[in-house]
Amino acid sequence: MIKKTATVSCLCVLTIFSALACAQAVTVTADVALVSGSKKSKARRASNVVLWLTPVGSAPAPNVPAIPASNLPRLVQRNKSFEPHVLVVPVGSVVEFPNRDPFFHNVFSLFEGKRFDLGLYEAGTTRNVVFDKPGISYIFCNIHSEMSAVVIAVSSPYYGISDQHGRVTIANVPSGRYTLRIWYEETLPEELNNLTREVTISEDAANLGAMRLPATNMPQGHENMYGHDYPPPLPDSPTYERH
């Protein structure tokens, strides 16, 4: 009987703790817009802006739940492009790179972040990459210069990416102090660093408000995995798309 009572009390305490934890976790929102050229120019809403929050000071490091193998994040190669163009994952995530085109791709990332070369792989096959360190990885194909994507690995489960209206939503953020970081493809790294700031999240302060990011026309183009310009396609090669 005593044992049973102890178990019930234990369950009660656990329930109260989890209820408290739930009550303190809030949905953080923000609205991002881009400004280019002069500061007076009109801001435009932007998708694919990434925000993430990392706990500050003595706050315990958040537990990042493992993603089941049946539901891995993926960068699909389809119609000579990557879908999605921007992918955010917690550090340690396995990302799938399935080739859904009827021809070969050769996916690589060699310039920053996670470095890898998946080699040539054919239609219908897939490869996995573990993003085991925080950072920005620029993903390209060594055959099709027009293919590009970005994988952002963050050491926090609290991240979000803006939709077409510029709205970012980050669910289940416990109240507390965080460092807010922002990434956008067309904003220079030093500008992004300037936007890093500390924020306090609570039920009364879950909206980070409007944010304006300076957008720059970044230089287009990149080198292939050998550090050279892309050669013109060879129509007779089996690795290229046939028309």
Q: x/- string (CB under 5 A) for Cu ion, residues 53-92?
A: ----------------------------------------
Residue 141 touching Cu ion (CB under 5 A): yes
Residue 97 CA to residue 24 CA, distance in Å, equals 37
Among 50, 75, 143, 149, binds Cu ion (CB under 5 A): 143
Residue nearest Cu ion, Cβ-based: 141
Among 144, 161, 173, 211, binds Cu ion (CB under 5 A): 144
DSSP state for residue 21 in the 8-state scheme? H
Cβ nearer to Cu ion, comparing 105 with 181: 105
The least distance separating Cu ion from the CB of residue 83, rounded to whole angstroms, comes to 13
Cβ nearer to Cu ion, comparing 108 with 159: 108
The least distance separating Cu ion from the CB of residue 81, rounded to whole angstroms, comes to 9
Number of residues interacting with Cu ion: please give it, by CB under 5 A.
4
- In this structure, what token pair is assigned to residue 154? 């963050």
Cβ nearer to Cu ion, comparing 191 with 240: 240
DSSP for 33-77, written as a single string: EEE-SSTTSPPEE-SS-EEEEEE-TTSPPPP-PPPPGGG--B-EE
Residue 105 touching Cu ion (CB under 5 A): yes
Q: Which stretch binds Cu ion (CB under 5 A): 91-99, 144-152, 196-204, 212-220?
A: 144-152
Residue 81 CA to residue 149 CA, distance in Å, equals 8
Residue 96 CA to residue 74 CA, distance in Å, equals 4
- In this structure, what token pair is assigned to residue 63? 């537990």
Hey, which residues does 153 pair with through a beta bridge?
Answer: 89, 135
The least distance separating Cu ion from the CB of residue 103, rounded to whole angstroms, comes to 8
The least distance separating Cu ion from the CB of residue 105, rounded to whole angstroms, comes to 3
Q: Alpha helix locations (H) across 71-215? A: 189-195
Cβ nearer to Cu ion, comparing 189 with 235: 235
Hey, which residues does 179 pair with through a beta bridge?
Answer: 54, 198
Residue 47 CA to residue 63 CA, distance in Å, equals 28
Query: Which residues of the chain form contacts with Cu ion (CB under 5 A)?
Result: 105, 141, 143-144
